[in-house]
Amino acid sequence: MPKSKLKHLAVIMDGNGRWAKQRGLNRTKGHEKGAEVIRDVTTYCAKHPTIESVTFYAFSTENWKRPKLEVDFLMKLLDRYLQKELETYQKNNIKFIAIGNIDAFSKKLQERIRLTEEATKNNRDLKHILALNYGGRAEITYAVNSLIADGIEITEDNISSALQTPYENIDLLIRTSGEERISNFLLWQLSYSEFYFTQTLWPDFDKVELDEIIEDFEKRNRRFGGL
């Protein structure tokens, strides 16, 4: 049986707060450590022979319900991350893409996101996609309404092309920290994805475990509804 080929990896990064609490630290320290893991996983994917895209669930539409101090910190962390990681993107030929409604962010952060996208638009080894103020239901609703407004027939192919992530379907979704749900993430694109749930908290996740998960994925027989 041929190996399943991993082209698009998606990750729900869970457990930053619990990781910090276990160490008697503020939750913000967990988010800072989690950002370092994003960098490690992204550079790993850029060097992987088959992976073309990696999408991280960085900030959902529901995350606004968190305490204001934590939300404000996450916005500042994202701004610092993009500023710092631009060199990493260019060095590893990584194209940065943001999906979700970034209009809710500060003008400064919106500008940082757009500048990073513009600076990396010609990079080709990997698409690094951050889902920011993102919700799967909102994405599908927006796609359908845009088709209606343009007088385009509502078909599966047309909806797929109108989504913010029209590149390809997700091959593998990883969620860390032991939670086993998809939390309104990439609902359309996950229709035939493989899932892997690990007990590891996101700040403890590493390339060794990712290697093991990909090895497990490659052994799976993906039938897509067939035999």
Please give the positions annotated as active site: 14, 63
Q: Which of 82, 95, 164 is nearest to 126 (CA)?
A: 95
Whether residue 8 contacts residue 97, with contact meaning beta carbons closer than 8 Å, is answered with no
Q: Which of 156, 194, 196, 164 is nearest to 180 (CA)?
A: 196
Tokens 């030929």 sit at which residue? 93
Q: What is the DSSP string of 12-35?
A: E---HHHHHHHTT--HHHHHHHHH
The residues pairing with 173 across neighbouring beta strands, listed in sequence order, are: 10, 195
Instruction: Tell which phi-psi region holds residue 223, choosing left (phi > 0), alpha (psi between -120 and 50) or beta.
Output: alpha
Measured distance CA(136)–CA(146) in Å, rounded: 15
102: Cβ contacts below 8 Å, ≥ 6 apart: 109, 110, 113, 132, 133
